[in-house]
Structures are given as C-alpha cells and as structure tokens.
C-alpha cells in the first residue's frame, strides 16, 4: 500500500498524461492494491441528480470502460450516504443500508458481493465517488483498506485540481502571448507610419524635380519618358505611404448615430466612378435598417476597401453587389440585432489558407506596387472598434462575399 500511495502521488497530469490516463492508472493501482475485481470513478452530473461512470477498470480482463449512469431517483439511500460518509464499507452490499438498493439493477447482474466506496471531494463538496467492487465471498474491509480508499479519492481530487491549474496557466500564457503580439504589431505599425511620413517628404522632392524635368523644353524623348516613369512610380509610392500612415496613426474619430443606408446611398455614385466602366455596382437597399454608432468616414473606408477588393478580384470586369440589411443574432453568430453590409463579387475567390490571412497587415497576393495588404487590416480595425464582426465566404474561381455586422443601436424613427 505504501508503494501504491507513492505511485499515486507521482502521477502528474501534463501534455503526455491526460486526466483520463491518470484516472485509469489510479483505478488499476487501486484494484491491484486493494485486491478487488473492479474499481470505478464516478462523478455527479445533471445537477447532482445522477452519477456517471468516468472510468471503470476490470482487473480480470485488464480493460477499461466508461459511461454507465445511476440516478438519485432510483438509489436515494446511496446518494444520501455519499453526502454523509467519508467511506462506505459494505461487507454484504446487497443488505447494507447504503447499498442494498443497488442489488437488482447493479450488484446481482455484476456479481458484486462487497463494496468499498469513498466519496470524492472538491472544496469540501462531494463531486463523485470511487468504488471498489469485490466479487466472490463477502469481504471484511479492514481499517487499512478504508484508509487507502480515502487516499485514492483524495488523489483523484488533487489530480483534478492539478489539471485545472495547468490549464489555467496555459490559458494565461496564451493570453500574454497574444497581448505581446498585439503590442508588437501596434508598435510596428507606428514605426512604419513614422518612416512613411519621412519617406513621403522625400517623395515630394523627387516628384517635384521629376515634374520640373518633364516640363523642360527640348528634352530628348527617352529622358521625358523616364521622367514620366519616375513620376508614376513616385505617385504609387506616395499612395502607399498614405495608407501606411493611415494604418499606423490613430486619427481622431468622431463616431455618431448614423443610418448606414443613407451613407451608402451617398457614396455609391463615387464608388461607381472609382471602379470604372468595366465594373457595375448593384446596391440593394434594405428597408428599416435602423441606426448604427460609427464614424461615417471610417464606414466609408470600410465600404471603399471592400468594393476596391471586389473590383480587383474581377480583372476583366463584372458586377459588384453591395447590400445593407438588418439581421438578427443567429445569423450574426452574436446576440442582438445587427446591420449587415455585404459586398459580393464573382471573381477569383480565395482558398482557405489565404482566407485565414487576409486581415493580417501587409498580407497581399497582388503584384508588387499594386497591393499594400493594408485594406482589410484597416477594415478589421474599424469594425472591431465599432463592436462589429466580419464574415468571409469565398471559393476559388467562384467569387467572394464579405459581410460586416455592425451592432444596431436603434430602429428607424
Ligand atoms: P490588398 O488589396 O492591397 O492586397 P487587402 O488587405 O485589401 O490588401 O486584401 C488582402 C488580400 O486579400 C488581397 O491581396 C487578396 O488576396 C485577398 N482579397 C481581399 N478581397 C478579396 C476578394 N474580394 N476576392 C479575392 N481575394 C480577395
Ligand atoms: Mg485592398
């Protein structure tokens, strides 16, 4: 028994040893040490009205099973004994006051003659029981047996605590890793914004000089062409730095109560001009979409970025559908009413791997000089701050739908 006690103490839950493995090992050790046929660990479930077997070990076949349930309604005296006893030694289980109810349904069919049960406690409350079940001639339980059964039940509750502690620690570690990564991303973005700002000043000079060259009379054609290329590249660079600055700098926002249908109505004509004649924009205006709390300029950025991405996904043209509608919690996967902005295209689509990265800053699949990879990172930040969420549906060559859900704070007056 001494060796078994030591073995129980040494079982520590961890990555290689799950709590279930530990329970199995405890059952096996207990069965061998006490010398019984079966040892089971049961836990109270269904608001303490039932016991479910978590692990059962059968020594003669050296096998484990689980899952049987006993309910309080059928065995009230046994459930009461669990609350009042440190251990329940029953030499003749079929006539013992605490266990006799189990006779017909459990003891006779399983050929159990004697039982030694010890409730399992957590913070002073019974949470289950460990059962040592003996077959054959009725067996007298010694004080040593009873002590050992209590040790087994204490070991079980200690292991449960240890496993919970390990889980809490790893959750904490994960949490601090995420916080660290977020802080890093944010300081990186700020660094990039600072560098972008300085770089834009340099670009201004480059663009100014290249413009001067282009305006000079009597230039050889190739020089003029080069000046034109410098200007084009410089302008692309300037556009990129603008986005980097926007991403890094927390510009002042002024969120207020707005109607997204109205704002979208106002922006769609501009978007039509922006995407050009090869792409059509269909706007489906939902009735009574209610009011949302957001900075309208930020909302326009969201819409603009989604529409531009939809256009880029259909290089040879096509239709972009923009829609606004009210949806209830179930569709949004959250509680309450939401105003949904949907932008769909029938373009190239994305595989699952790319879908998982599209909100990462600087993730882009577009050729050098075309994409910045910041559009959706900006969208995500704006939506997060508005308390909303984003849902992406896409399939390669079958287009993409992005749905943004904004909390609806009021209905239409
Ligand atoms: P960018 O447009 O500059 O590449 P975004 O952050 O806007 O940066 O988008 C990141 C990437 O997500 C794109 O490069 C593209 O691969 C993918 N993506 C975004 N929207 C769509 C879309 N509507 N269809 C297909 N791919 C898309
Ligand atoms: Mg984009």
Residue 350 vs residue 335, higher pLDDT = 350
Distance from Cα 144 to the centre of ligand 2, integer Å: 73
Give yes or no for residue 366 CB within 6 A of ligand 1. yes
Tell the residue nearest (CA) to atom 19 of ligand 1. Answer: 309
Find the ligand nearest to 363 CA.
1
pLDDT at residue 15, as a whole number:
79
pLDDT above 70 coverage of the chain, percent = 95
Q: For 128-180, how does the pLDDT look when each residue is reduced to its tens digit (9 = 90+)?
A: 999 999 999 999 999 999 999 999 999 999 999 888 888 888 878 877 777 77
Distance from Cα 193 to the centre of ligand 1, integer Å: 21
**CATH fold label, 256-410:** Heat Shock Protein 90 (3.30.565)
Give first-to-last CA distance, the chain, whole Å.
Answer: 77
On whether the CB atoms of residues 260 and 339 are closer than 8 A, the answer is yes
Give yes or no for residue 365 CB within 6 A of ligand 1. yes
Give yes or no for residue 347 CB within 6 A of ligand 1. yes
Query: Residue-wise over 164-175: b if at least 16 C-beta within 10 A, else e?
Result: eeeeeeeeeeee
Query: Residue-wise over 121-141: b if at least 16 C-beta within 10 A, else e?
Result: beeeebbbbbbbbbeeeebeb
pLDDT at residue 362, as a whole number:
84
Q: Domain 2-164 has what CATH class? A: alpha beta
Find the ligand nearest to 365 CA.
1
Task: Kindly give the number of the ligand 1 atom that is closest to the alpha carbon of 399.
Answer: 24
How high does pLDDT run on average in the chain?
A: 88
Distance from Cα 74 to the centre of ligand 2, integer Å: 65
Q: For 237-249, how does the pLDDT look when each residue is reduced to its tens digit (9 = 90+)?
A: 887 787 777 666 6
Of 66-70, 281-285, 347-351, the one with minimum mean pLDDT is 66-70
Task: Kindly give the number of the ligand 1 atom that is closest to the alpha carbon of 377.
Answer: 6
pLDDT at 332 over 60: no
pLDDT at 253 over 70: no
Q: Rounded to the nearest 10 degrees, what angle do helices 143-215 and 221-248 cross at?
A: 150
Q: What is the average pLDDT across 224-240? A: 87
Give yes or no for residue 309 CB within 6 A of ligand 1. yes
pLDDT at residue 329, as a whole number:
62
Sequence spans of domains, the chain: 2-164, 175-248, 256-410
In sequence order, what DSSP letters do the residues of 344-395 get, joined into one string? EE-S----HHHHTTTTSTT---SPTTT--S-HHHHHHHHHHHTT-EEEEEE-
- What's the residue count for the chain? 413
pLDDT at residue 248, as a whole number:
61
Counting ligand 1 atoms within 8 A of each CB, the residue from 358, 394, 397, 401 with the most, and so the one to mutate, is 358
Give yes or no for residue 361 CB within 6 A of ligand 1. no
Give yes or no for residue 375 CB within 6 A of ligand 1. yes
Q: For 360-379, how does the pLDDT look when each residue is reduced to its tens digit (9 = 90+)?
A: 988 999 887 677 888 898 89
| Residue 386 pLDDT class (50, 70, 90 cuts) | confident
Give yes or no for residue 339 CB within 6 A of ligand 1. no
- Cβ contacts of residue 263 below 8 Å, gap of 6+? 296, 299, 300
Distance from Cα 401 to the centre of ligand 1, integer Å: 12
Counting ligand 1 atoms within 8 A of each CB, the residue from 236, 303, 309 with the most, and so the one to mutate, is 309
Q: What is the average pLDDT across 391-410? A: 93
Give yes or no for residue 382 CB within 6 A of ligand 1. no
Q: Per DSSP, what are the bridge partners of residue 292?
A: 258, 408
Distance from Cα 312 to the centre of ligand 1, integer Å: 8
| Residue 93 pLDDT class (50, 70, 90 cuts) | very high
Q: What is the average pLDDT across 368-393? A: 87
Give yes or no for residue 310 CB within 6 A of ligand 1. yes
């Amino acid at each position: 028994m001494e060796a078994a006690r030591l073995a129980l103490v040494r079982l520590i839950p961890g990555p290689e040893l799950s709590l279930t493995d530990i329970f199995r090992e405890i059952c096996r050790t207990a069965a061998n040490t006490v010398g019984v046929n079966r040892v089971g660990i049961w836990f109270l479930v269904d608001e303490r009205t039932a016991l479910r077997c978590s692990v059962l070990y059968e020594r003669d076949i050296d096998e484990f099973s689980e899952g049987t349930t006993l309910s309080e309604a059928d065995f009230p005296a046994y459930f009461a004994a669990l609350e009042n006893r440190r251990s329940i030694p029953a030499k003749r289980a079929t006539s013992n006051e605490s266990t006799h109810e189990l006779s017909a349904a459990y003891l006779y069919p399983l050929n159990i003659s004697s039982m030694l049960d010890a409730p399992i406690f957590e913070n002073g409350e019974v949470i289950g029981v460990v059962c040592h079940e003996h077959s054959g001639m009725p067996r007298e339980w010694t004080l040593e047996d009873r002590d050992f059964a209590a040790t087994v039940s204490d070991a079980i509750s200690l292991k449960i605590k240890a496993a919970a502690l390990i889980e809490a620690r790893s959750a904490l570690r994960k949490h601090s890793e995420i916080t660290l990564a977020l802080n890093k991303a944010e300081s990186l973005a700020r660094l990039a914004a600072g560098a972008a700002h300085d770089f834009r000043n340099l670009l201004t000079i480059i663009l100014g000089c290249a413009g001067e060259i282009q305006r000079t009379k009597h230039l050889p054609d190739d020089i003029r062409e080069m000046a034109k290329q410098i200007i084009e590249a410089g302008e692309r660079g300037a556009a990129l730095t603008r986005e980097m600055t926007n991403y890094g700098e927390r510009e002042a926002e002024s969120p207020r109560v707005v109607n997204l249908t109205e704002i979208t109505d106002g922006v769609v004509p501009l978007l039509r001009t922006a995407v050009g004649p090869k792409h059509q924009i269909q706007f489906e205006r939902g009735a009574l979409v209610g009011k949302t709390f957001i900075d309208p300029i930020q909302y326009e950025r969201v819409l603009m970025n989604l529409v531009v991405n939809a256009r880029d996904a259909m290089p040879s043209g096509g239709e972009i559908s923009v829609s606004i509608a009210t949806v209830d919690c179930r569709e949004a996967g959250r509680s309450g009413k939401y105003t949904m902005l949907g932008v769909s295209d029938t373009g190239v689509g994305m595989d699952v791997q790319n879908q998982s990265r599209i909100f990462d800053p600087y993730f882009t699949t577009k050729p050098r000089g075309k994409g910045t990879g910041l559009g959706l990172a900006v969208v995500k930040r704006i939506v997060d701050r508005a308390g909303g969420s984003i849902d992406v549906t896409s399939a390669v060559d079958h287009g993409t739908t992005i749905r943004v859900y904004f909390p609806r704070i009021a209905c239409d007056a």
